[in-house]
Amino acid sequence: MAITEKTNRETPPRGATGQKFRLADRWRGYRAHHRATLSSSLGKMLGEPIQTLMTVLVIAIALALPSAMLLMLNNVQKIGGDLESSSQITVFVAKLAESKAVEGLALQLEDLKGVISVTYVSAEQALEEFKALSGFGTALRYLDENPLPAVFLVQPLLSGETGVSQAESLITSIEALESVEDVQVDMLWIQRLNAITEIGEKVVLAISIALGIGVLLIVGNTIRLAIQGRQEEIIVVKLVGGTDAYVRRPFLYTGTLLGLFGAVIASFMLIGCFIWIGRSVEILASLYQSQFELVGLGLSGVLALCAIGAVTGLIGAWIAVMQHLRKIEPK
């Protein structure tokens, strides 16, 4: 409803180019208002440092906990992946197979999809190795013939999550080949590890959801108190024509900032923890002659955590604002 002509009332006289300047001025005014709202929200938070710090710390812990678990899980999966790729498939050659058939088998194995390398260990080599390693050398002399079969050591290409199923189909196709007596591979523990990490993922997800709701409630409650504290101001702003969006804006900024600060502190907590734990992991890994290194949050992880924190804070503030702001009307 225009009581007056809007252009007359709200625009400074600018001459012929008035309209153009008007839009530009409006946009500048709008941005300036956002900047002012952001800095006043920040100022109000810093004006109550203890209260703000406590809220931010609670949010930080709620964000850091599931993140830490997720990182741990990633590292366990990485260990699993490293070991998985070092696993070998042992192919026992039928005892009665002729040398030509064995040569053919070698070629067939090399041609199979998902095979990196094939190593042939003849029955004699196997026996020598066994003698050397087992300490039963003298006892074996009493045997009439070599009880060990010739063996192919097949190094499969196992990548990521599909590794196990790839290996399983590889085993099936090896078993179908001629002159193959038996195929052995210790896949069970890989399957177990995968099952455990799958449970772990679900647990982390459940905890993340619970703590995410916690963050929403913390931010929501903080914003609710802020709204109550500024009730008088909200009424005056509404009386002089402030829109719902205008009234809402500082609270949304506050919520977003709370979530963002919480995420930043959570990132510091996680980085600190992983540096601390990482040293011990290094020592342990060197004892196992492993090159394993703990995977930390990384820059992308920090950014993702900050985004999650800010968005969660914004949603929490939005919920509180929706619940409480409409009730405050000038009477």
Partner 1 sequence: MIRFDNLSKRYPGGLEALSNVSFELEKGEMAFLTGPSGAGKSTLLKLLMLMERPTSGTLLINGKNLNRLSRSAIPNYRRQIGVVFQNHQLLTDRTVFDNVALPLQISGYPASETGRRVRAALDGVGLLDKENLNPLTLSGGEQQRVGIARAVVHKPKILLADEPTGNLDPKLSAEIMAMFRRFQSVGVTVLIATHDINLINTMDERIMYLENGMITDDGVRHGHH
Question: Contact positions toward partner 1, by CB under 8 A?
Answer: 1-4, 9-10, 12, 25-26, 28-30, 32-33, 36, 232-233, 235-244, 246, 329-331
Q: Which is nearer to partner 1, 112 or 235 (CB)?
A: 235
182: three-class secondary structure by DSSP: strand
> Which CB atom, from 213 or from 239, has the smaller least distance to partner 1?
239
d(CA 182, CA 160): 26
Q: What is the DSSP string of 52-76?
A: HHHHHHHHHHHHHHHHHHHHHHHHH
Q: What is the DSSP-derived secondary structure letter of residue 135?
A: S
CB closer to partner 1 out of 6 and 141 = 6
49 or 135, CB closer to partner 1? 49
Q: Which two tokens stand for residue 264?
A: 């930043």
CB of 230: closest distance to partner 1 in angstroms? 9
Report the nearest approach of partner 1 to the CB of residue 26 (Å).
6
Query: Which of 20, 42, 22, 41 is closest to 30 using CA atoms?
Result: 22
Q: Which amino acid is at 62?
A: A
SS3 42: helix
Q: How far is the CB of 325 from partner 1 (least distance, A)?
A: 13
By three-state DSSP, how is residue 297 classified? Answer: coil
Q: Which of 10, 175 has the CB closer to partner 1?
A: 10
Q: Which two tokens stand for residue 41?
A: 């929200």
Nearer of residues 36 and 210 to partner 1, judged by Cβ: 36
Least Å from the CB of residue 20 to partner 1:
14
The structure tokens listed for 224 are 């609710």
Cβ 13 to partner 1 shortest distance, Å = 11
Nearer to partner 1 by C-beta: 182 or 329? 329
Q: How many CA atoms lie within 13 A of 319 on its CB side?
A: 14
Q: How far is the CB of 50 from partner 1 (least distance, A)?
A: 20
Q: For residue 5, which phi and psi values (nearest 5 degrees)? A: -75, 120
Judged by CB, which is closer to partner 1: 12, or 15? 12
* CB 319, min distance to partner 1, A: 21
**Cα 297 to Cα 274: distance, rounded to the nearest angstrom:** 8
Report the nearest approach of partner 1 to the CB of residue 32 (Å): 6
Question: Residue 260, class by beta-carbon neighbours within 10 Å (0-12 exposed, 13-18 middle, 19+ buried)?
Answer: buried
Cα-trace Rg, the chain: 34
